[in-house]
Homo-oligomer: A and B are copies of this chain.
Amino acid sequence: MKPAAKAIPAGGIAADLIAVLVAVTNGAPLALTIQDGNALPSGPFELGHRSLQTGLRAWVEEQTHHPLGYVEQLYTFADRDRAESEAAQRVISISYLGLTREAQRDGVREAGWRDWYDYFPWEDHRTGAPSLIADLLTPRLREWAQAAGGAGLREERWRRVAFAFGLEGSSWNEEFVLQRYELLYEAAIVPEGLGEGLAGGRSPVPGRAMAADHRRILATGIARLRAKIKYRPVVFELMQPAFTLLQLQRTVEALAGRLVHKQNFRRLIEQQELVEETGATASDTGGRPAKLFRFRYAVLAERAAAGTKLPLIRA
């Protein structure tokens, strides 16, 4: 790009880090929040940090007292819309996805960790598709599609809806978290930001909102993670040092929002040699004691990519 006349003078830009921090406890996928669940943790990028990721990592470990296993950049925004207050100041927001373990004190959930399905109740299909979808979302989305001008646009809208929500023959794809959220937002079925209300004056559907575009960023993080667990062994960052295969499975299911076939799951994990037995067993599972496993960290060196394909149940 050529040096432009309108280039921002030094002093016009600030940088912000926003974190989607994920943990899974007892089958509940959690995200760390602040302000009573209304926002994601964020703060200015500090000069003392050697790099963006270094800064994020140091800060998170200080807050959660757990090593931050996996960190990945999500997206960098600088939309003009985001600069709400002072128009002169341009803010660049750099969002991250991080995996860790929940900091529990004596089994009590620490404040700040929230089940992410509180924000996206339509995303949890572990016990089948939530009735919410058929009862509330689909009718409203159909209304919205019908309200478009022109048959082509109406059809186009409805096709997007059907595709995103797995209607009319297409099957539910758990990775389309962001597409679904954006459709709901576009159709004014969910609000973006707090206290904005909806255009048509209709009540919003279940699901907590968040300040500014934080719920959208959370959706981005969930989508990325749901895609990632299928080809990278990142789930283990969320596990305790020793775990049973069922615990591992439940963690995956919590993230994916759908069930997996138990036997195939075990087959896959074992044939990929992702884990090794510790020798001990867990007897508090209510049935036959399960062998305890640990992650084989060697696989990270062996194949940086090969991956954990997950046998998600087909539609």
Contact = CB atoms under 8 A, between A and B. Distances in A.
Interface stretch (A132-140, A251-259, A264-272, A299-307): A299-307
A73 interface: yes
A170 to B, nearest CB: 8
Contacts of A3: 43-44
Contact of A12 (B4, B43, B47): B47
Nearest to A50: B80
A90 B52 CA distance: 12
B14 A45 contact: no
A42 B1 contact: yes
A194 interface: no
A192 interface: no
Nearest to A302: B163
Interface string A159-179: 110010000001001011001
Q: How many copies, total?
A: 2
A224 to B, nearest CB: 12
Contacts of A10: 11-12, 14, 89
A13 B52 CA distance: 13
A15 interface: yes
Contacts of A89: 10
Interface in A1-38: 1-4, 6-8, 10-15, 17
B1 A304 contact: no
A213 interface: no
B179 A304 contact: yes
A78 interface: yes
Contacts of A94: 76, 92
Contacts of A110: none
Given A304-B176, A305-B176, A47 B11 contact: no
A283 interface: no
A143 interface: no
A240 interface: no
A77 interface: yes
Contacts of A163: 301-304
B90 A92 contact: no
Contact of A4 (B44, B50, B92): B44
Contacts of A285: none
A3 B16 CA distance: 11
A170 B299 CA distance: 13
A84 to B, nearest CB: 15
Interface string A65-91: 000000001011111100000000110
A101 to B, nearest CB: 20
A6 B47 CA distance: 6
A42 B3 CA distance: 10
Interface of A: 1-4, 6-8, 10-15, 17, 41-48, 50-52, 55, 59, 73, 75-80, 89-90, 92, 94, 156, 159-160, 163, 170, 173, 175-176, 179, 301-305
6 contacts: A1-B17, A1-B41, A4-B44, A10-B89, A13-B14, A13-B15
